[in-house]
Amino acid sequence: MLISLFEALRGWLAAAGHPVRGLATAVSVLLLAVLLPGRAQAQILDDSTQNRYGARTTFILQERDLLREDTVGRMIDTTLTRLPQSRYWTYDTTFQQDLGNFGTASRPLLWEPNRQLGARLGRNVFDKYARDAADVKYYDTRSPYTFFRFHQGNPYEQIFEFSYARSLKKRFNAGFDYERFGSNKAVAVTNTKTGLAEHSNFLFFVRYQSLNDRYRAMANFSTARHTVAEQGPIVPQPAQLDTLPDGTIYPDLSLLFNYQRETVSLTQARNRDSRDRVRLLHSYRLLGRGLTAFHIFDWSRQLNKYTDTELLLPSGERNPFYPELRLSTAATDDRAEFRQWENTVGLMGNSKTVEYRLYARQRYYSLATRVAFGEPAVLQDSLGDRSGSQLFLGGTAAFRYRQYAIETAGEIKPDLQDPTQTEYWLRGRAVLDFLSAELLLTSVSPTLTEQQFEGNHYAWNKSFSNTQVQQLRVRAARQLGRHYLEAVGTGANIANYIYYSIDPNSQTDRVHMARSGPFQQGETFRLVTLMGRYRLNVGHLFFDNQATYTYGAGADNPALRIPKLVGESRLYYQGSVFRNALFGQVGVQGYFQSRWKAYDYSPSTQQFFVQDHFTIRNTPVVDVFLSADIKTVSIFFKMAYVNQFLPQNGYFATPYYAALPRRLQFGLRWQFFN
């Protein structure tokens, strides 16, 4: 079977000139190879058809397990519930605001405080698609394990992933994972340039455990490449404009959903995000589970590059999307390369009731920026190399007894020259049966991009104070027979919040006005969120609802914007047929967010920024889906945005960025345990 799989994968790599056609060819060949008789027979106990290996003999381990002295892990996920939900197709499963298509820039929609201290690049719009080395899955499997998935959203989205892991000896396991996804343009499509986003990622991982269980190690290497053709917002044409009695001209938004026939701001702009990372975690038991030494080595590189070779209109005038052309009128080529090395050493211990971990981490970082000057454009260094060394101290401590628990954790980066700029996060949590309360205090410095930036269109050099957050979160969750109830209340005081916005001196009467850079909200403001979830099952019928209400981040807040209400609901029927040979779900799911002044997007700086000229309507999005599971094969069919034209023919995900129209999505997940 593996020979057929590798032959199919090799054939696909040769044919993958286009992110969609190449993947479709690969899947066809791959499925034929797997289905060939005599190549995919399961291992058996005897001459019967009883499987020897399966999901119950394959376990997942992650770094967090090793740091808790957990050597068992968890069984792999074979459930159907999340399979057709698109927000679980990437590595960040939170609700996100994006540019309306898969693979485009995105940002978290709901509030979560930042706990990353020290030097950070601050360009995170493609983090959703990047694998975190600290969350890589390692396997404990008694037989070779192969995973394959393929998703197709005709004709826009496509995902292909193939992974393989096996134990070479009892204590050693190694494997690799390759994924590639792409998306096609839905707006302003031409016959020759239809590709929008393309992503590829290769991961290699190993896990080792000594015979006496005293030494354990996990290591992985990953490389990811993400490319997006930036189209910019839709540009309303004269036939799409209306005039008020006072002479004011404004676009009729209902006329901006012609998709392929629309006009956009950018035609030759591209964003590229390249990431490489090596991570090693290993530990050695000094005195059993009570005293274990550990070390983490982490090296990473992130290169961001924005290019545009068409800065002028056919008339010779500057493209009005850009506020100015500072360095070159021939081309834009803005680059930033961030490198980071970290070494963490510490001690930890774990028992049934007590757990602790103490560590120190040393970080070395460097940031090099280059921009294109002159005509023709020539790359030159700018801002000089920024580098430094930083020290962090941290730890965790927890006490658990039956349904009671007290947990504390924290990290600090001291600043001896200016104690007011010391960074930290401190968290305390108490659990009493179904109730829990958590207090979080943070003081975090601005990112390197927020402090300084220079490009062909924007430049700034600013000094900010640390952003400080004091947050209290209370949670109650209870299973009452068929009913599951969960409520979470959060109150946060936020001081010195840093955000991107429009320069007050820019042209406020233009639809696409100048994007100026970061600002800091000097006044402290309060944010309150309430999340509720209710799940009910009656026989084979399941009803799952979740909603989050946010107060304090509306149009009257100049720094932070969040929809007041964000909700998701699922109603489905599940059961087995054909003598339990097939297990399936059929149902409907919906997403809703209230009206809000959504963030706009600046592709050359890769930042979302606050705006006040565009309000996104509260349009619900409804999907109908069918999922099925036949032994190790899971499939789904989904009609996404089935309610298009009810009541309108489209909706915006970001100001003047139209979301995808109605489409059929198909997915396949196949797991082999032999």
Cα separation, 125 vs 479, in Å, equals 37
Cα separation, 578 vs 537, in Å, equals 23
Look-up of token digits 């591209």: 270
Encoded amino acid at 62, one letter: Q
Cis previous bond, 647, omega within 30: yes
**What is the separation of C-alpha 535 from the centre of its chain, rounded to a whole number of angstroms?**
26
Nearest of 425, 419, 421, 416 to residue 396 by alpha carbon: 425
Whether residue 514 contacts residue 503, with contact meaning beta carbons closer than 8 Å, is answered with yes
pLDDT at 8: 43
Q: Angle 21-35/2-15 helices, nearest 10 degrees? A: 160
**What is the separation of C-alpha 262 from the centre of its chain, rounded to a whole number of angstroms?**
29
Cα separation, 448 vs 339, in Å, equals 12
Beta strands at 652-654 and 607-609: parallel, antiparallel or unpaired: unpaired
Whether residue 227 contacts residue 193, with contact meaning beta carbons closer than 8 Å, is answered with no
Count H helices and E strands in the chain, helices first.
4, 37
pLDDT at 515: 52
Nearest of 223, 227, 340 to residue 276 by alpha carbon: 223
Nearest of 468, 476, 515, 511 to residue 492 by alpha carbon: 468
Cα separation, 116 vs 581, in Å, equals 48
Nearest of 280, 409, 285 to residue 344 by alpha carbon: 280
Residue 73 φ/ψ region, left for φ over 0, alpha for ψ in the -120 to 50 degree band, beta for the rest: left
Structure tokens at 269: 């702009």
Cα separation, 43 vs 144, in Å, equals 11
Look-up of token digits 């058996």: 44
How many residues are given for the chain?
674
Residue ranges of E strands in 309-377: 332-350, 354-373
Whether residue 109 contacts residue 562, with contact meaning beta carbons closer than 8 Å, is answered with yes
Helix, strand, coil tally for the chain in percent (to 5): 10, 55, 40
Cα separation, 543 vs 534, in Å, equals 8
Structure tokens at 33: 């190879």
Distances (CA, A) of 658 to 74, 231, 253, 419, 616: 40, 11, 10, 47, 11
Spell out a b/e string for 27-36, using b for 16 or more CB atoms within 10 Å of the CB, else e.
Answer: bebbeebbee
Cis previous bond, 603, omega within 30: no
Neighbouring CB atoms inside 10 A of 402's CB total 7
Spell out a b/e string for 67-100, using b for 16 or more CB atoms within 10 Å of the CB, else e.
Answer: bebeeebeebebebeebbbbeebbebeebbbbbb
Q: What do you get for the CA distance between the two ends of the chain, in Å?
A: 9
Residue 613 φ/ψ region, left for φ over 0, alpha for ψ in the -120 to 50 degree band, beta for the rest: alpha
CB-side neighbour CA atoms (13 Å) of 482: 8
Cα separation, 43 vs 207, in Å, equals 24
Whether residue 238 contacts residue 249, with contact meaning beta carbons closer than 8 Å, is answered with no
pLDDT tens digits, one per residue of 274-307: 999 999 999 999 988 889 999 999 999 999 999 9
Cα separation, 395 vs 359, in Å, equals 6
Whether residue 343 contacts residue 361, with contact meaning beta carbons closer than 8 Å, is answered with yes
pLDDT at 245: 79
Whether residue 653 contacts residue 21, with contact meaning beta carbons closer than 8 Å, is answered with no
Residue ranges of E strands in 414-516: 423-432, 435-444, 452-454, 459-461, 467-480, 483-495, 497-501
pLDDT at 304: 96
Neighbouring CB atoms inside 10 A of 293's CB total 13
- 384 by Cβ neighbours in 10 Å (0-12 / 13-18 / 19+) ranks as exposed
Write out residues in the chain with pLDDT < 50, as ranges: 1-49, 507-514
Phi, psi (5° rounding) for residue 26? Answer: -60, -45
Structure tokens at 669: 């997940």
Cα separation, 50 vs 629, in Å, equals 18
Beta bridge partners of 538: 541
pLDDT at 506: 54
Whether residue 152 contacts residue 158, with contact meaning beta carbons closer than 8 Å, is answered with yes
Residue 103 φ/ψ region, left for φ over 0, alpha for ψ in the -120 to 50 degree band, beta for the rest: left
**CATH fold of 42-672, please?**
Maltoporin; Chain A (2.40.170)
Nearest of 532, 529, 556 to residue 545 by alpha carbon: 532
